[in-house]
């Protein structure tokens, strides 16, 4: 009897080990976030009732010419063509609440630091309740991956918001983080990096300490080409800043620009043998926003209905090409970190706190 029990235990341990080391085709990981990007525009495109809610783009007819189509399916393609032409064809997009496909944050704060903490650690933390520059005591999936021998020193993060060195805790984690108005630094700067360093302080920036997304993206691309990281976190911020300012036109243009940047990033990855057909891309947002009907679309937080409603997308060699997920279901922000690690064949349970893997994002044959 004792021998049989021992054999059963060994078998269970073997099965558990196999589940944790299940082979995937993904060798590289890219996570991109668009701060405060509403699911409403992602799935339905521009809302014409908000075209006058701005001053940077003062001509509603001009916005209509750029972003308006009669059908939501066409409007969303105009706004985010890469998402709806490439990812919708080759990956998955979650969060269309009109189809009953729900994605929510699990934290009760509904703003940025708690959202990014949840995305990257897989768990809401009630102690993370401000956007203050406090070093995160929680371990992010980026830090976890950076401890793995195959990924040590090959995890980088580029972000427009200057709080990310604290969210990722760059001092403890060892993850390279370039954020806010930070220049490219180090030896052997490329000509492009030197040019960006000279140009950035000379370009008027209405966002204050938040770096314009174009600079964040260009710095990121230069590092990608030079350092060839295996894991990249890239965070855009303009969508949130312009929404807070009530600049709906600028919000739309920033969303379309971010989609363009992601398309350029993906095109480059697919042109390189190291990344081609070996890279999984995840896109999401840190929180939702309010409604256009009561003009709370500009805001988020605990008191704003709908600010916990988000979306996400995934594409890569291990993900079925299911397109827009139209089946009823409930997904949470806390599932992203463990799912991201699983694409690399790693189990990031975060001490049992991380949400469950998003199973439909994986081929069932794996």
**Cα gap 49→46, rounded to integer Å:** 9
In this structure, the dihedral spanned by the alpha carbons of residues 119, 94, 44 and 68, taken in order and rounded to 10 degrees, is 80
- Write out pLDDT tens, residues 304-328: 999 999 999 999 999 999 999 999 9
| Amino acid 366: pLDDT | 40
| Amino acid 233: pLDDT | 99
- Write out pLDDT tens, residues 188-221: 999 999 999 999 999 999 999 999 999 999 999 9
Provide the whole-model pTM. Answer: 0.93
> For residue 338, how many other CB atoms are within 10 A of its CB?
23
pLDDT tops 90 at residue 22: no
**Cα gap 234→217, rounded to integer Å:** 8
Furthest-apart CA atoms within the chain: distance in Å: 81
* Residue 9 contacts residue 260 (beta carbons within 8 Å): no
**Cα gap 93→274, rounded to integer Å:** 26
| Percent of the chain residues past pLDDT 90, beyond the cut | 89
- Write out pLDDT tens, residues 181-190: 999 999 899 9
Which pair of tokens denotes residue 35? 């701060």
Structural domains in the chain, CATH included, are: 26-361 (3.40.720.10)
- Reference 251, options 237, 261, 238; nearest CA is 238
CB contact set of 142 (below 8 Å; sequence gap of 6+): 120, 155, 157, 168, 173, 175, 231, 233
């Amino acid at each position: 009897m004792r021998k049989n029990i021992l054999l059963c235990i060994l078998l269970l341990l073997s099965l558990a080990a196999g589940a944790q080391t299940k082979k995937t085709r993904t060798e590289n990981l890219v996570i991109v976030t668009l701060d405060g990007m509403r699911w409403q525009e992602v799935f339905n495109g521009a809302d014409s009732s908000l075209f006058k809610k701005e001053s940077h783009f003062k001509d509603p007819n001009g916005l209509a010419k750029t972003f308006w189509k009669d059908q939501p399916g066409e409007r969303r393609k105009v706004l985010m063509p890469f998402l709806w032409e490439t990812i919708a064809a080759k990956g998955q997009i979650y969060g269309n609440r009109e189809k009953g496909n729900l994605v929510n944050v699990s934290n009760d704060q509904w703003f940025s630091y708690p959202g990014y903490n949840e995305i990257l650690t897989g768990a809401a933390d009630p102690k993370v309740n401000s956007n203050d520059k406090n070093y995160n005591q929680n371990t992010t999936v980026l830090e976890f991956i950076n401890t793995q021998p195959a990924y040590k020193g090959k995890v980088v993060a580029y972000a427009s918001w200057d709080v990310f060195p604290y969210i990722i805790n760059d001092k403890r984690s060892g993850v390279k983080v370039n954020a806010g108005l930070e220049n490219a630094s180090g030896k052997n700067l490329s000509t492009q990096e030197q040019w960006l360093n000279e140009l950035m302080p000379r370009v008027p920036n209405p966002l204050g300490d938040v770096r314009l997304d174009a600079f964040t993206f260009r710095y990121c691309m230069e590092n990608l080409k030079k350092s060839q990281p295996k894991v990249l976190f890239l965070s855009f911020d303009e969508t949130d800043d312009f929404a807070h300012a009530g600049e709906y036109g600028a919000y739309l243009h920033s969303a379309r620009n971010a989609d363009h940047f992601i398309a350029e990033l993906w095109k480059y990855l697919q042109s390189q043998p190291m990344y081609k057909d070996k890279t999984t891309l995840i896109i999401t947002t840190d929180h939702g926003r309010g409604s256009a009907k009561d003009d709370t679309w500009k805001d988020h937080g605990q008191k704003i209905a709908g600010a916990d409603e988000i979306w996400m997308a995934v594409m890569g060699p291990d993900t079925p090409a299911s397109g827009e997920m139209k089946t009823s279901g409930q997904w949470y922000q806390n599932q992203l970190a463990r799912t991201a690690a699983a694409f690399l064949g790693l189990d990031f349970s975060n001490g049992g706190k991380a949400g469950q893997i998003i199973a439909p994002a994986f081929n069932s044959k794996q």
